[in-house]
Every structure is written in structure tokens, then in C-alpha cells.
Amino acid sequence: MKAKIFLLTAFFSLLTGALSAQKFAYVDTDYILNQMTEYKAAQKQLNELSQKWENDIKIMKDEIDKMYKDYRAEEILLSATQKKEREDAIVAKEEEMKRFEQEKFGVNGELFKKRQELIKPIQDKVFAAIQRVAKNNGLDFIFDKSANMNILFSNPKYDRSDDVLDELGITQTENPNDK
């Protein structure tokens, strides 16, 4: 029994020593990315593309609404065959709009692919800079303050975001973490 207690105590002592020897830091990738003109340009391009497609969808919705209103206004005058044709045309237009929306905004839609094309190389560049900063500063862990990680308190002296920007050759504007 004494041997087990001794082994547990020794294990926890080693574990505590190992953990205290590790170096931690954090970065704020949102802050870093928002300092990068290439990221801002990519975001602008994505927003413009998204807005264009949203406008196209709105036009399609307006056409469908008009088709439906016209159908309702003329329904009394239409034969059964004409009613069926109009209803089929409205349904076909709705399906066309849904297909367009899925092609543009769906999980593997054009917006997703364009985001991958424009943003991923920038993120890879930032990730490589983070790795260099970690290596240059002898850091064992770097956390991302902007991700879904909850850091309830962070001492600014451990913030390496500006070091990453320096590594990327970007001149910083005001860091919101300095406030």
C-alpha cells in the first residue's frame, strides 16, 4: 500500500514538473487575419459574390411571386389543362431557384469552393507563421483566442499575435487586446 502511494506521489510530482516546464501562448487569428490586406480583399470578393447570388435569388423569388399572383388572378378563367400548366411552371421555377441556391450556397456550393480557394492559402500562411513563432520562442502550445475556445482570462504578455504579424511582414494597426 505504501508503495502504491509512493508511486502515485512520484507520478504526480513528475507530471506537475513536466506541465510547469511547458511554455504556452495564444494568438488571436481574427485579429491577425483582419490585419492582412489579402484577407480583407478575399473577404470583400466573397461578400460581393454572395450578394450577387442573393440578388439573383431575390429576382427569382419575385418572378415566382408574380407568376403565382397572375395565376391566382386568372385562375377562374383557366381551363383545367391551363391551370395544370401554370402550376407546373410555378413548381418548376421554384425547383430551379432551390437548385440555384444549393449550387451557390450549399455545403459544397460555389461559395464554399471559392472560400476554400481564396481563404485557405491565407490561413495556411498564418499557420506556418504561427509554427515559426512557436519554434523561435520555444513554445510548446499556442492556443487560438478567437476560435471556439473559451479563454476566460488571458495575460497579454502571452499574446503572440503581433509576433505572427511580424513573421508575416505585416505592420500592425491597433491591437484590440491592448485596450
Give residue-wise pLDDT tens across range 66-120: 999 999 999 999 999 999 999 999 999 999 999 999 999 999 999 999 999 999 9
Estimate to the nearest angstrom the gap between the alpha carbon of 122 and the chain centroid: 13
* Contact between 15 and 161 (Cβ < 8 Å): no
Cα distances (Å, whole numbers) of residue 138 to 19, 23, 134, 151: 15, 7, 6, 22
Lowest mean pLDDT, pick from 4-13, 140-149, 167-176: 4-13
Give residue-wise pLDDT tens across range 28-75: 899 999 999 999 999 999 999 999 999 999 999 999 999 999 999 999
Domain boundaries, the chain: 19-178
Query: Can you give the pLDDT at residue 179?
Result: 43
Taking the C-alpha atoms of residue 106 and residue 16, their distance in angstroms, rounded to an integer, is 48
Q: Could you identify the residue written with the cell 437548385?
A: 99
pTM above 0.85, yes or no: no
* Contact between 29 and 143 (Cβ < 8 Å): no
